[in-house]
Amino acid sequence: METFRADVGSTGPVCIRGGGTRWSLGGDIGAEVRVVHAPSGIDSHDPAEMTVAVWAGTTLTDLAEALAEKRQEVGLDGPPGSTVGGSLAVGWNGIRRLRTGTARDTLLQAECVGADGQIFKAGGPTVKNVSGYELCRLLVGSLGTLALTGRVILRTRPMPERSLWLRGSMTPAEVERSCYRPSSILWDGSHSHVCLEGYGIDVDKEASDLVEHGMIEVDGPPDLPPNRHRWSGELPKGAVLDVAIGVVHCHGSGAAPEVDPAVKVIADRLKANFDPQGRLNPGRDPYMVSE
Amino acid sequence: MVHEMPAGTDDLVADLVAALGIDRVVAGGGARHLYGRDGSIIEGGHSGPICFPDSTDQVADCVRVAVDHGRAFVPRGAGTGLSGGAVPCNDPVVIATTRMNQIHEVDTERRIAWVGPGVVNLDLTRHLAGTGLHFAPDPSSQQACTIGGNTANNSGGPHCLAYGVTSAHVAAIEVVLSDASIVVLGEEVGDAVGYDLRGAFVGGEGTLGIATRIAVRLTPDPPVVKTLLLDFQSIVDAAETVTGIIAAGIVPAALEIMDQKAIHAVEKFVNAGYPLDAAAVLIVELDGLPGGVAREVEIVEQVGADNRVGTVRVAADDAERELIWKGRKNAFGAIAHIKPGYYLHDTVVPRTRLAEVVAKVNAAVERHDLIVINVFHAGDGNLHPLLVFDPREPGTLERVHAAGEEIVRISIEAGGVLSGEHGIGLEKRGYMPLLFSPDDLAAQRALRDAFDPHGIANPLKVLPTSASCGDVMGLPEVPEGVWV
Amino acid sequence: MSAFTTTAWLGLDDDSLTACVACGLCLSHCPTFRLTGDERMSPRGRIALMRAVQTGGVACDDEWYNSMETCIQCRGCEAACPAGVPFGELISGTRAAISEARPLPLHLRLGLWGLTRPRLLLLGSRFLAMLQRIRVLPRVPFLPRQLPLSGSRLPRRSEGDVVLFTGCVMDVWQPEVHDACETVIAATGSTVVRSGPGTGCCGALHEHAGLHDSAREMAEHVIASLPGEQEILVDSAGCGAALKAYGHLLGTAEAVAFSDRVLDIHEWLAEHDDSLPQVPVADRPGVIVQDPCHLRHVQGAHGAVRQVLGHCSEVVELNDDGLCCGAGGSYSLLQPEMAGAARDRKVALIREVSALSGANIVVSANPGCSMHLATAGVEVRHPVQVVAEMLTSADGVNGGATDGR
């Protein structure tokens, strides 16, 4: 952490870059802003604790591979090349969020460098913790505007024994009624796509019930368009709705949703309290994101 | 015993009465005496007038009047909290949400319910009977505690191992902030854009504002539930079994351990059928679809056998399930028959170090000449050592606090944290520097100040300060110079 | 009202007072806290206030008296208390201690005195009944709409397998409940003898109101008038609880032995239900059970009620942990506002459950509860009345029941 802290320093604008897979999200960072990278590597994975300690610069792929050896996974999501830190900063949930939990539930502890160049720790290493304020929740989805994260402890979950996708013309509500806790329900405007996960015997039973209702087993989820915006009641052509989280995967970029000015007051005070000079990721605004 | 209120209180009361009506404000000595404490062992708080608003606007009125008079305010639900979070310091306006107990709206299709903060946790689940849905957080006080209180404390319970604590079940919250403004945090579906202010608010212990309406997520009832009771000749074997079950890729709905003293206390009053010769029992609850549950029962039996389990009792029906849980749920009550007072502690340690920490905790407490009994959420390493004592014996409370501090130190040394579900409140704010550096605490202060820049929402809670809370009894002092 | 302000030493048991750790698990089980959300109206609040007076030297003021006097003494808190705090003893001791400083209103004292005079009660009630018949008596909410003109018959046999305790008010105002009990007991093949007016009132209301001396006298009278070994069956939950507590109230071996003979009628029937008819499931009416506090929280006999009703009806639960309806003996007269609010809450729940389940029979095993609920227009029967009706309507089982009719 000390090297990372020295990189960040205590003066001048600085931004942090992970895989750069969603670099344009939330506004542009000027070309002259100094770029730092979080360290990478997995510190420790303890399957019996259901936690993993990992550096923020580690790619999600590397992390997933390491966890898969012990048949575990984490509830983080991002395009190929995304890093743990980048995925947390964006805070988007994967389509299997109903099983894996949200990104916000996944971050247990973060070691960060604040705008003053000092290291601080948010949260705690255990899966259950109500010691002090929930700083970790604020960091997830903050686009690095409050602090720069170096090392984290994440909650892991067991991987399912069986995982399969079905597609058909049942409505999402019908699917939800006929399955106990599916991992994902997507809707493309004419078809539902459902992911069933768990023990083979249960998944097969639920799948056969769905097949009776005209669903068919498919290789995986539908292709998801690259952009996302909040569900507003309309599904553009070619878009896919993630029913559980109210997110539309689409091609065109949507406008940022309107935000209650009273919410912005708190948000502005947060930013001012954490980063009074506005040196962390200048130009980024988590409220300028369409999801 | 009831102390005089500071000057200006009469005007404050008059303005509160003008805003809320005469039947929603009380300021008598008896009331202030009662509202000086909550469910914790912390005594001697000083309450100002107590308000019973029944709408969001009235809560905002209470806050506005308090601010006008330069008084702080303290939100209060049922007052069952165990860390002194609702204990008022320095005569604040106490805002009780008990009359905001309406279930406003239940949407079974979208699995969301909007409720008042004063709705009792168990009342919501009862209200949902027949819909196939329930509210998952189930703290031990669920028959009495309110959902507003659960939100403030990010409450847990036995079943949060699989289902997550309150934060995972609160979608959106309408909040009255300390400037009397009203704001909605979060979204009914999915995450709100921007900073997760909802996530920050949950667990804020009433220091970030007052929740006035809460949108909670409803969880489908599991199709199959199996409850197992395993007994062991050593608590180490029980703890190893817990580790083994998790390592096998199972996340049970609940994993609870009770030690021998707890077993004996419970059996005497409940007759749950716990074996008296066992050193520990482990309750395992598995739920989900039938195939998986059957598989997991086999795995648990195998892991138990690998760890020298005595017998494995699988509850045959609901009646037997209830009996097994009855012992667990009545444990604290049964223990109270041993001595009239008890202090329920709450720390979390890595679950792989449970057995070692329990042994150290027992030795430390016994050194202070107190009885300790362990009943805890083993699945997430959440220890609940229960110190049993008679508060009338001179010097007992001092010994209780000294033992409590040792428990905290032992837990932190083992890589644990201060609290798993009771929160920090007044009880543990002095211990915060044991877990957090001054920089860590400065970051938490930055969060708090963003919601409440003038520090009038439930002051002196959570974060350590040099200011004191009147003559509140028996609180650990902040180590000198660590945090001011 | 400063004339009543005094420092009272309450004489409460210190261990019992200390046993409350203020955890608050009682709160949701307290009808007055449920209505007000105010700690002063809660069990743990009342205990803290008792403690403040007994050990903290605080003077009693109107606020304090109000906390104590608004308690319905339903003892729902006692059943919910994890630490086993004997709240019933604490509040009853407090009421006794303050009964001198805060005397009961004259009409209530007269009424309670009247209960100790069964013949006077019978005469008075007949007089009221006649006034009702000739329509000169205005509607009094808690009185049955049609008072019976005759009371319970005197016992015809001196010997029976069991004794039915007939009490005071109930014997006069609801003798049909005793008749139903006789019918059902007879159907089990046992013989029953009524305790009759000579036994008198059980004293529960007096004890409730803090008049401990009267309560003790009445207990001694009841015990003396019912010698023997037979089990004593009670069809009024309040009376049953009082009779079972004589051992504690008087503290004599004789009283303990007497209390051991006492059973709620349902407890006895649950042990003798083999001979009760099994009504086919399809023919079973839905019955909403309202548990009297003294049946559920004090006697713990609510399971027996369900077992007995389960033979002939579909039991429909209110699912409110037996929260008090607000009747509380003389409480509805002394605290009409709170009693009315508790009743309205219960009635709203009954209506809701009735609408959901389709059940329209409501039962309660205590005359106070049924009269209180009747004031809000809910017709309430005794569980045993339902069983008796099913008996007489079922084929071939009413032979024994007609004996002596």
| Residue B474: closest CA among B444, B416, B430 | B430
Report the alpha-carbon distance of residue B427 to residue B401 in Å, rounded: 10
Our answer on whether B and C touch (3+ beta-carbon pairs < 8 Å) is: yes
* List of chain B residues whose C-beta atoms are within 8 Å of the C-beta of residue A48: 243-244, 246-247, 351-352
Residue whose entry in the numeric block shows the structure tokens 């049993």: B388
C238 within a domain of the structure (yes/no): yes
Which tokens sit at B22?
A: 């005469």
Which tokens sit at B78?
A: 């049922």
Chain C interface includes B37 (CB < 8 A): yes
Report the alpha-carbon distance of residue C9 to residue C12 in Å, rounded: 8
Question: Collapsing DSSP states into helix, strand and coil, what is residue A151?
Answer: strand
Residue B484: pLDDT over 70: no
Looking at residue B115, which CATH number applies to its domain? 3.30.465.10
Q: For residue C83, give the nearest of B2, B120, B336 by CB distance.
A: B336
Q: How many CB atoms lie within 10 A of CB B99?
A: 19
B321 within a domain of the structure (yes/no): yes
- Give the range among B407-421, B452-466, C33-47, C99-113 with minimum mean pLDDT: C99-113
Q: Supply the ipTM of this predicted assembly.
A: 0.96
* List of chain B residues whose C-beta atoms are within 8 Å of the C-beta of residue A246: 187, 189-190
Which tokens sit at A63?
A: 């992390």
Give the residue from C227, C242, C269 where a domain finishes.
C269
B4 within a domain of the structure (yes/no): no
Mutate to test the interface with B, among A102, A131, A174 (most CBs of B within 10 A): A131
The one-letter amino acid at C250: L
B343 within a domain of the structure (yes/no): yes
Which tokens sit at C210?
A: 């803090």
* Residue C138 binned pLDDT confidence (cut-offs 50, 70, 90): low
* pLDDT value of position B426: 93
Mutate to test the interface with C, among B98, B102, B270, B392 (most CBs of C within 10 A): B98
* Residue B187 binned pLDDT confidence (cut-offs 50, 70, 90): very high
Close Cβ partners of B448 (under 8 Å, ≥ 6 residues apart): A133, B204, B207, B208, B462, B463
- Give the range among A13-22, A104-113, B175-184, C2-11 with minimum mean pLDDT: C2-11
Report the alpha-carbon distance of residue B333 to residue C78 in Å, rounded: 12
Q: How many CB atoms lie within 10 A of CB B324?
A: 23
Which tokens sit at B315?
A: 């509850």
Question: Collapsing DSSP states into helix, strand and coil, what is residue B232?
Answer: strand
CB C149 within 8 A of CB C130: yes
**Predicted confidence (pLDDT) per residue in A214-224, tens digit:** 999 999 999 99
B327 and B346 fall within a common domain: no
Chain C interface includes B297 (CB < 8 A): no
Higher-scoring residue by pLDDT: C138, A189: A189
- Give the range among A2-6, A16-20, C33-37, C126-130 with minimum mean pLDDT: C126-130
Report the alpha-carbon distance of residue B225 to residue B289 in Å, rounded: 9
List the Cα angle C104/C110/C116 in 5-degree steps: 115
B130 and B199 fall within a common domain: yes
Looking at residue B245, which CATH number applies to its domain? 3.30.70.2190
Q: CB distance B30–C319 less than 8 Å?
A: no
C355 within a domain of the structure (yes/no): yes
Chain A interface includes B8 (CB < 8 A): no
CB B229 within 8 A of CB B315: yes
Question: Collapsing DSSP states into helix, strand and coil, what is residue A160?
Answer: coil
Beta bridge partners of B76: B96
C206 and C298 fall within a common domain: no
Residue C137: pLDDT over 50: yes
B192 and B246 fall within a common domain: no
C255 and C344 fall within a common domain: no
Residue B256: pLDDT over 80: yes
Residue C396: pLDDT over 50: no
Farthest-apart Cα atoms in chain A, separation: 64
* Residue B73 binned pLDDT confidence (cut-offs 50, 70, 90): very high
B130 and B91 fall within a common domain: no
C176 and C324 fall within a common domain: no
* Residue A230 binned pLDDT confidence (cut-offs 50, 70, 90): confident
C404 within a domain of the structure (yes/no): no
C233 and C126 fall within a common domain: yes
Range of the domain at C379: 277-399
* Residue C145 binned pLDDT confidence (cut-offs 50, 70, 90): low
Averaged pLDDT of chain B: 92
Q: CB distance B183–A138 less than 8 Å?
A: no
Report the alpha-carbon distance of residue C63 to residue C28 in Å, rounded: 22
B305 and B206 fall within a common domain: no
Residue whose entry in the numeric block shows the structure tokens 């009278």: C221
C7 within a domain of the structure (yes/no): yes
* Residue B2 binned pLDDT confidence (cut-offs 50, 70, 90): low
Instruction: Tell whether the torsion through CA atoms of B472, B476, B479 and B484 is positive or negative.
Output: negative
Higher-scoring residue by pLDDT: C117, B74: B74
Report the alpha-carbon distance of residue B448 to residue B464 in Å, rounded: 13
- Give the range among A132-141, B47-56, C118-127 with minimum mean pLDDT: C118-127
C40 and C118 fall within a common domain: no
C125 and C187 fall within a common domain: yes
B228 and B216 fall within a common domain: no
Q: CB distance B350–A291 less than 8 Å?
A: no
C105 within a domain of the structure (yes/no): no
Higher-scoring residue by pLDDT: A48, C277: A48
B383 and B320 fall within a common domain: no
Counting the structural domains of chain C, the total is: 3
Distance from chain centroid for Cα B25: 28
Beta bridge partners of B184: B174
Q: CB distance A266–B451 less than 8 Å?
A: yes
Give the residue from B186, B201, B220 where a domain finishes.
B220
E strand map for chain A: 14-16, 34-36, 42-46, 51-55, 72-73, 107-113, 119-123, 148-155, 157-158, 162-168, 184-187, 192-198, 216-218, 227-230, 240-242, 247-250
Mutate to test the interface with C, among B32, B143, B150 (most CBs of C within 10 A): B143
Percentage of chain A exceeding pLDDT 70 = 100
- Looking at the complex, report in whole angstroms how far the Cα of residue C111 sits from the nearest Cα belonging to chain B: 33
CB A288 within 8 A of CB A267: no
CB B51 within 8 A of CB B92: no
B384 conformational bin, left if phi > 0, alpha if psi -120 to 50, beta if neither: beta
* List of chain B residues whose C-beta atoms are within 8 Å of the C-beta of residue A265: 181
DSSP C294: I
Q: Supply φ then ψ for residue B313, to 5 degrees.
A: -105, 120
C298 and C346 fall within a common domain: yes
C148 and C205 fall within a common domain: yes
C299 within a domain of the structure (yes/no): yes
* Residue C133 binned pLDDT confidence (cut-offs 50, 70, 90): low
* C-alpha dihedral, C370 to C373 to C377 to C383, nearest 10°: -40
Give a three-class secondary structure readout of B428-468. CHHHHHHHCCHHHHHHHHHHHHHHCCCCCECCCCCCCCCCC
Strand order across the A227-230 sheet? A216-218, A162-168, A192-198, A184-187, A240-242, A247-250, A227-230
* List of chain C residues whose C-beta atoms are within 8 Å of the C-beta of residue B138: none
Which tokens sit at B402?
A: 């000294």
B42 and B149 fall within a common domain: no
* List of chain C residues whose C-beta atoms are within 8 Å of the C-beta of residue B80: 23-25, 27
Report the alpha-carbon distance of residue B242 to residue C63 in Å, rounded: 52
Residue B366: pLDDT over 60: yes
Looking at residue C325, which CATH number applies to its domain? 1.20.1050
- Give the range among B421-425, C129-133, C384-388 with minimum mean pLDDT: C129-133
C152 and C261 fall within a common domain: yes
Q: CB distance C39–B31 less than 8 Å?
A: yes
Report the alpha-carbon distance of residue A65 to residue A61 in Å, rounded: 6
| Residue A115: closest CA among A281, A265, A3 | A281
B88 and B147 fall within a common domain: no
C143 and C244 fall within a common domain: yes
**Predicted confidence (pLDDT) per residue in B274-298, tens digit:** 999 999 999 999 999 999 999 999 9
Report the alpha-carbon distance of residue C327 to residue C325 in Å, rounded: 6
- What are chain B's partners, defined as 3 or more CB pairs within 8 angstroms? A, C
Report the alpha-carbon distance of residue A89 to residue A110 in Å, rounded: 12
The one-letter amino acid at C299: Q
C125 and C230 fall within a common domain: yes
Range of the domain at B404: 339-453
**Predicted confidence (pLDDT) per residue in A84-103, tens digit:** 999 999 999 999 999 999 99
* Residue C148 binned pLDDT confidence (cut-offs 50, 70, 90): low
List the Cα angle A13/A17/A23 in 5-degree steps: 100
**Predicted confidence (pLDDT) per residue in B312-359, tens digit:** 999 999 999 999 998 888 787 777 778 888 899 999 999 989 999 999
Q: For residue B417, give the nearest of A102, A126, A273 by CB distance.
A: A126
Residue C149: pLDDT over 70: no
Which tokens sit at C149?
A: 């003109």
Report the alpha-carbon distance of residue B272 to residue B36 in Å, rounded: 37
| Residue A164: closest CA among A191, A182, A187, A148 | A182
B469 within a domain of the structure (yes/no): no
B411 within a domain of the structure (yes/no): yes
Q: CB distance B143–C28 less than 8 Å?
A: yes
Give the residue from B38, B66, B96 where a domain finishes.
B96
C144 and C235 fall within a common domain: yes
**Predicted confidence (pLDDT) per residue in B422-444, tens digit:** 999 999 999 999 999 999 999 99
Looking at residue B25, which CATH number applies to its domain? 3.30.43.10
Chain B interface includes C317 (CB < 8 A): no
Report the alpha-carbon distance of residue C35 to residue B54 in Å, rounded: 13
Question: Collapsing DSSP states into helix, strand and coil, what is residue A133?
Answer: coil
C104 within a domain of the structure (yes/no): no
List the Cα angle C208/C141/C71 in 5-degree steps: 30
The one-letter amino acid at C59: A
Report the alpha-carbon distance of residue B172 to residue B155 in Å, rounded: 16
Give the residue from B191, B220, B249 where a domain finishes.
B220
B201 within a domain of the structure (yes/no): yes
Which tokens sit at B274?
A: 């716990």
Average pLDDT in the B377-399 region?
Answer: 91
Q: Supply φ then ψ for residue A208, to 5 degrees.
A: -65, -35
* List of chain B residues whose C-beta atoms are within 8 Å of the C-beta of residue A206: 289
Query: CA separation (Å) from C186 to A271, B425, C262, C386, C398?
Result: 81, 63, 19, 15, 9
* pLDDT value of position C135: 60
Residue C398: pLDDT over 50: no
Averaged pLDDT of chain C: 85
- Give the range among B167-171, B193-197, B233-237, C278-282 with minimum mean pLDDT: C278-282
Give the residue from C76, C98, C120 where a domain finishes.
C98
* List of chain B residues whose C-beta atoms are within 8 Å of the C-beta of residue A105: 164, 167-168
B177 and B204 fall within a common domain: yes
CB C383 within 8 A of CB C363: yes
**Predicted confidence (pLDDT) per residue in C217-276, tens digit:** 999 999 999 998 899 999 999 999 999 999 999 999 999 999 999 999 999 999 998 878
* pLDDT value of position B481: 31
Give the residue from C269, C296, C314 where a domain finishes.
C269
Close Cβ partners of C298 (under 8 Å, ≥ 6 residues apart): C75, C78, C88, C237, C241, C244
Q: For residue C23, give the nearest of B52, B80, B340 by CB distance.
A: B80
Report the alpha-carbon distance of residue C346 to residue C378 in Å, rounded: 10
Q: CB distance A287–B428 less than 8 Å?
A: no
- Looking at the complex, report in whole angstroms how far the Cα of residue B367 sits from the nearest Cα belonging to chain A: 27
B82 within a domain of the structure (yes/no): yes
B125 within a domain of the structure (yes/no): yes
B368 and B422 fall within a common domain: yes
CB A41 within 8 A of CB A54: yes
- What is the Cβ-side half-sphere exposure of residue A6, based on CA atoms within 13 angstroms? 2
Counting the structural domains of chain B, the total is: 4
Query: CA separation (Å) from A191 to A196, A213, A222, A242, C38?
Result: 16, 13, 10, 12, 54
* pLDDT value of position C94: 93
C165 within a domain of the structure (yes/no): yes
